Amino acid sequence: MALSMADLPSVFSLLSNALSADPNVRKPAEATLSEFESRPGFCSSLLEIITSETLAAHTEVRLLATVYLKNSVNRYWRHRRDSYGISNEEKAYLRKKLLTDLRETNYQSADVLISHRVYMVLFCALKELSTKRLSVDQRSFSEICSHFLEYSWGLWQRDFQTIFHRLSSLPQSSFVAAAVEGQDDLQLICERWLLCLKIIRQMILFGFPSDAKSVQEGNHEHLQFIKKSCYKMMKVLVLIQNTHPYSFSEEQVLSPILEFCLNKIINPEPVLLASEHFLIQCMVMVMSVVDCIHYKPIITGSVINGSVASVEERKKNLAKVVDVILKSVLTGDRIVFLCNILVRRYFLLSANDLEEWNRDPEVFHHEQDLMQTTDKLRPCAEALFIIFFENHAGVLGPFVVSILHEAMSGCSSTGSEITPALLLKEAAYGSAGYTYYELSKYLNFKAWYEGALALELSNNHPNQRIIHRKVAWILGKWVSEIKDGLRKPVSYALMNLLQGGDLAVKLAAVRALYCLIEDDNFYELDPSDYFPICWKLCFKLFEDVQIFESKVAVLNLISLIIERLGDRVIPFANELAIFFRKLWDESAGESLLQVQLLVALKNLIVSLGPRSPMCYSVVLPILRFGIDIANPDELSFLEDSVLLWEATLTQAPSMVPQLLDLFPYLVAIMERSFDHLQVAMNITECYLVLGGLEFLNVHAENLVKLLHGTVNNVSDKGMPPVLQTIETLIKCFPKDAPPLINSVLQNLTLMCLSGADDSNPSKAAVKASAGSILARIMVVNTNYLVHLVSEPSFSTILQQVGVSLDQNILLSLVDVWLEKVDNIPFIQRKTCALALAVSLKFRETQILEKLEQIVSVCTSVIVDDDEAKDESSFAEADSIGAQNNLDSFGTGSTIEMRKRQIKESDPIKQLALENILKENLHACAAIHGESNFNSAMGRIHPSVLSQLQQALKMA
Residue 553's pLDDT is what?
A: 94
DSSP 214-254: HTSPPPHHHHHHHHHHHHHHHHHHHHHHHH-HHHHT-HHHH
The predicted model gives 743-754 an average pLDDT of 88
What number of CA atoms fall less than 13 Å from residue 534's CA on the CB side?
Answer: 27
pLDDT at 314 over 60: yes
The pLDDT assigned to 298 comes to: 67
Distance, CA of 280 to CA of 289 (rounded, Å): 14
Kindly tell me if the per-residue pLDDT of 368 is higher than 70.
yes
Looking at residue 435, its amino acid is T
DSSP 8-state class, residue 755? S
pLDDT (mean) for 290-298: 84
Instruction: Compute how many other C-beta atoms are within 10 angstroms of the C-beta atom of residue 562.
Output: 25
Q: Could you read off the pLDDT of 11-23 as tens digits, one per residue?
A: 999 999 999 888 8
Between 199 and 523, name the one with better pLDDT. Answer: 199
Asked whether the beta carbons of 816 and 753 are under 8 A apart, the reply is: yes
Q: ∠ at Cα 601 (595, 603), nearest 5°?
A: 110
Question: Is 519 strand, coil or helix?
Answer: coil
Grouping H, G, I as helix, E, B as strand and the rest as coil, residue 83 is strand
Most confident of 140-149, 394-403, 787-796, 908-917: 394-403
The amino acid present at 859, given as its one-letter code, is T
Answer whether residue 72 shows pLDDT above 60. Answer: yes
Residue 71 has a pLDDT of 84
Instruction: Measure CA 442 to chain center.
Output: 37
d(CA 608, CA 593): 23
State the pLDDT at residue 758: 63
Give the residue among 313, 256, 297, 315 at the shortest CA–CA distance from 391.
297
pLDDT tens per residue across span 89-129: 888 888 787 766 644 444 445 556 666 666 777 777 778 88
Greatest alpha-carbon pair distance for the chain in Å reads: 132
Q: Decide if 894 contacts 610 (C-beta within 8 A).
A: yes
| pLDDT given for residue 219 in this prediction | 52
The reported pLDDT for the residue numbered 104 is 44
**Quick one: average pLDDT of 706-716?**
91
The strand pairing partners of 80, in sequence order, are 83
Radius of gyration of the chain (CA): 43
- pLDDT value of residue 172: 45
Which pLDDT belongs to residue 401? 94
Is 135 in contact with 207 (CB distance < 8 Å)?
Answer: no
Rounded Cα gap, residues 475 and 457, in angstroms: 12
Q: What is residue 244's predicted lDDT score, i.e. its pLDDT? A: 82
Q: Where are the alpha helices (DSSP H) in 609-691?
A: 616-626, 634-651, 657-660, 663-672, 677-686
Which residues in 34-109 belong to E strands, given as ranges?
Answer: none
Burial string for 859-878 (b: 16+ CB within 10 Å, else e) reads bbbbeebeeeeeeeeeeeee
Determine contact, residues 483/523, Cβ cutoff 8 Å. no
Per-residue confidence band for 741, with pLDDT thresholds at 50, 70 and 90: very high
Which of these ranges, 53-67, 347-361, 857-871, 926-940, has the smallest mean pLDDT? 857-871
Q: What value does the mean pLDDT take over residues 379-391? A: 93
Torsion of CA 809, 810, 812, 817, to 10 degrees: 140
Q: Find all residues with CB under 8 Å of 800, minimum gap 6, and list them.
A: none
pLDDT tens profile 835-861: 999 999 988 888 998 899 999 999 888
pLDDT at position 41: 87
Neighbours of 930 (CB within 10 A): 9
Whether residue 264 is predicted with pLDDT greater than 70 in this model: the reply is: yes
- Under DSSP, is residue 706 helix (H, G, I), strand (E, B) or coil? helix
Other C-beta atoms within 10 Å of 99: how many?
A: 8
**Which residues neighbour 321 within 8 Å (Cβ) at sequence distance 6 or greater?**
249, 251
DSSP letter at 280?
H
pLDDT band (50, 70, 90) for residue 589:
confident
Question: How far does CA 48 lie from the centroid of its chain?
Answer: 55
Contact assessment for residue 36 and residue 3, using Cβ atoms and an 8 Å cutoff: yes
Note the pLDDT tens digit of each residue in 673-706.
999 999 999 999 999 999 999 999 999 999 999 9
- CA 749, CA 814: separation in Å to the nearest integer? 12
How would DSSP label each residue in 672-694?
Answer: H--TTHHHHHHHHHHIIIIIHHH
User: Which of 316-320, 411-415, 576-580, 793-797 is the least confident region?
Assistant: 793-797
Q: What mean pLDDT is reported for the chain?
A: 84
* 745: region left, alpha or beta (phi > 0 left; psi from -120 to 50 alpha): alpha
Check whether 638 has a pLDDT greater than 70: yes
Q: Say if residues 553 and 511 touch (Cβ distance below 8 Å).
A: yes
List the beta bridge partners of residue 83.
80
- Which of helix, strand or coil describes residue 80? strand
Residue 162: burial class (beta carbons within 10 Å; 0-12, 13-18, 19+):
middle
Could you report the per-residue pLDDT of 459-477, keeping only the tens digit for each? 989 999 999 999 999 999 9
The DSSP symbol for 566 reads G
User: Is residue 923 exposed (0-12), middle (13-18) or buried (19+ Cβ within 10 Å)?
Assistant: middle
Residue 183, pLDDT score: 53
Minimum mean pLDDT range among 247-251, 446-450, 937-941: 247-251
Q: Which band of pLDDT confidence, cut at 50, 70 and 90, is reported for residue 282?
A: very high
What gap in Å lies between CA 290 and CA 484, rounded to an integer? 39
Q: For residue 186, what are the CA distances in angstroms to 151, 168, 176, 599?
A: 21, 13, 13, 57
Cβ proximity of 646 and 683 under 8 Å: yes
Least confident of 187-196, 717-726, 917-926: 187-196
Least confident of 154-163, 670-679, 773-782, 859-868: 859-868
Confidence band (pLDDT; 50, 70, 90) for 425? very high
**220 pLDDT tier (thresholds 50, 70, 90):** low
Q: Is the pLDDT of residue 10 over 70?
A: yes
CB atoms within 10 A of CB 615: 21
Q: Can you state the angle between helices 487-498 and 465-477, rounded to 10 degrees?
A: 140
pLDDT of residue 419: 92
- Say which amino acid occupies 781: N
Note the pLDDT of residue 117.
Answer: 65
Eight-state DSSP code of residue 939: T
Residue 396: which of 290, 257, 241, 268 has the closest Cα? 290
Q: Pick from 635, 569, 638: which is nearest to 608 by CA?
A: 569
